Amino acid sequence: MGAKMSIVTVAREIRTADELSTLIHDIKEGVANNILRQIRPDPSPFATDLDVASIQDHGPWPDYLEMRFCISGSPIRFKLSVETYHGVGGTWAPE
């Protein structure tokens, strides 16, 4: 479990659709393996109101994704923030 945990607990820049696809897959795997827990309802007014499991790995995606997760058993929170409509990218990083 250690290797899988390190995959989803490392900050990443998202520059391409392939990077976003990989990250969404990794996040969903982290949630399924109880490494991550999605924070819902998300307190941000810009949050994407979807369960991460319902998001397709390869799209189509909402124009903007903003979701928060916490590492199970830890106060550390990660935020996924990516603008998909214009393809300007985004981040997966601790808050």
Domain residue extents for the chain: 2-94
pTM for this predicted structure:
0.88
Helix, strand and coil content of the chain, in percent to the nearest 5, comes to 25, 30, 45
Q: What stretches of the chain adopt beta strand conformation (E)?
A: 12-14, 36-38, 64-71, 77-83, 89-94
Tell me the per-residue pLDDT of 5-50, one tens digit each, with 9 for 90 and over. 566 888 999 999 999 999 999 999 999 999 999 999 988 888 998 9
Instruction: State the amino acid at position 26 in one-letter form.
Output: D
